[in-house]
Amino acid sequence: MISALFRNHAMLHPKGSTRLKLGDVICVIGRSEDLYSLNRLFNGDAKLKQERAFFGTFTLDGSALMQDIAQAYGLTLSPGEQSMTLAEFIALRVGGHPVIGDDVDWHGIHWVVSDMEGGKITRVGLRLY
């Protein structure tokens, strides 16, 4: 239950028809077993938001060919890089032993290792500048 609503530093007494606005602060009275539901209601999927902030808005499969990625994004590759997969390319750039969270800045894109299996990169997140 919303017990109080603060808007522009003034306390309002919410009614059933009151609509929340950006910047409102609310006081909620609830049971401890409702905490998870309340958190999802007010935060959305916070874990997903945190992952996107760190790994990037979208990811590419590690098996994607660098030649295809370069063509799609207008990037320039050296002759040796054209036949590599994205996983091989990122592993080379981070020194050969990648871990989740390793990152590379290349061509104005922030490439972040977001998933691995058996020591191999399976997903790479992209954050565009």
pLDDT digits (tens, 9 = 90+) for 76-107: 999 999 999 999 999 999 998 999 999 999 98
Q: Is the dihedral of CA 63, 65, 66, 68 positive or negative?
A: negative
The whole-model pTM stands at: 0.61
In a 3-state reduction of DSSP, which class is residue 87?
helix
| Sites in the chain below the pLDDT cut of 70 | 1, 44-48, 129
| Same domain flag for 24 and 58 | no
| Same domain flag for 31 and 77 | no
Which residue segment(s) compose the domain that 115 sits in?
54-128
| Same domain flag for 29 and 74 | no
| Same domain flag for 67 and 124 | yes
In a domain, 112, yes or no: yes
**Rounded Cα distance, 71 and 56, in Å:** 20
Res 48: pLDDT: 66
In a domain, 49, yes or no: no
* Overall number of domains in the chain: 2
| Same domain flag for 39 and 78 | no
